[in-house]
Amino acid sequence: MAITQEKPAAGPTARPTQSLLLALMVLTFNTGLIDAVSYIGLGRVFVANMTGNVVLLGFAAAGVSGLSVTRALSSLGGFIIGATIGGRLGTSLAAGSRRRLILSAGILEALLIFAAAVSAIGFDMRSSAPAHQLYPMIVLTALSMGLRNATVRQLGVADITTTVLTLTLTGLAADSSVAGGSNPRPARRIFSIIALFVGALSGAYLLRYGVALPLFVTGACVLLTTAAYAAIAVTAAKE
């Protein structure tokens, strides 16, 4: 499926190219990686899944042991700021190409994750210490995920938010032939679920070698994925 018009488009009716779908799948995998790092390595806090993070904040406010109001608020604050930056970036590039938006957001996201990875060097995951490394990692990764969510929202590709699966799972079931539906986009929905699962699984394994490694891997994946998409988009536009 070759589409030469690579414009940012809002709404679920946008027709994504195959290269964009593949890029979003890889970014979904990366979300599993980064939430594994945050939840397991940074003390039971999410930086991509804000629904889960709000729930954890409620638990922490109620005094549930092992949870932290400060960590949850740091993540929420970083995510909101990142989403604001992403929205501003999308607005400023609205008249340009979709390729430019994805490449710009991807480079910025990767830089934020690399900065978090550098902050993670020497961090003790078991004791969540020192704090001067912990909170920069939470804020930087949450910033990157807020930026990502705003960018993906601007793209408006149905069933691939790259960060949450609630609506994807709902659509898979509610639109199925069993429920009397036409079962639209089943492969896209199923593969996004698998991608997030595999990312979380990979992140959990990589954490055996410390927090820095999975963050460096995530940053590299984001950078390579967006660069590859941009290169493919340029080639397709010339054909």
The angle formed by the CA atoms of residues 113, 168 and 111, to the nearest 5 degrees, is 10
Residue 6 has pLDDT above 80, yes or no: no
Mean residue pLDDT across the chain: 89
Instruction: For residue 130, say if its preceding peptide bond is cis, omega within 30 degrees of 0.
Output: yes
What proportion of the chain, given as a percentage, has pLDDT over 90? 67
Please give the average per-residue pLDDT across 146-160, as a whole number.
92
Q: Which two tokens stand for residue 129?
A: 């210490």
pLDDT-based confidence at residue 76 (cuts at 50, 70, 90): very high
Direct distance between the N- and C-terminal alpha carbons of the chain, in angstroms, rounded to an integer:
13
Please answer whether residues 221 and 26 qualify as being in contact, where contact means their C-beta atoms are separated by less than 8 angstroms.
yes
Note whether 128 and 144 are within 8 A (CB): no
Q: Residue 10: its pLDDT value, please?
A: 42
**Radius of gyration (C-alpha) of the chain in whole angstroms:** 18
Question: Residue 94: what pLDDT?
Answer: 77
Domains of the chain: 18-238 (1.20.1250)
Share of the chain above pLDDT 70, in %: 92
Q: Does the pLDDT of residue 159 top 50, yes or no?
A: yes
Residue 212 pLDDT exceeds 90: yes
Describe the crossing of helices 166-174 and 186-206 by its angle, rounded to 10 degrees.
140
- pLDDT band, very low/low/confident/very high, at 127 (cuts 50, 70, 90): confident
Write down the pLDDT at residue 15: 67
* Residue 98 to residue 69: CA distance in whole angstroms: 38
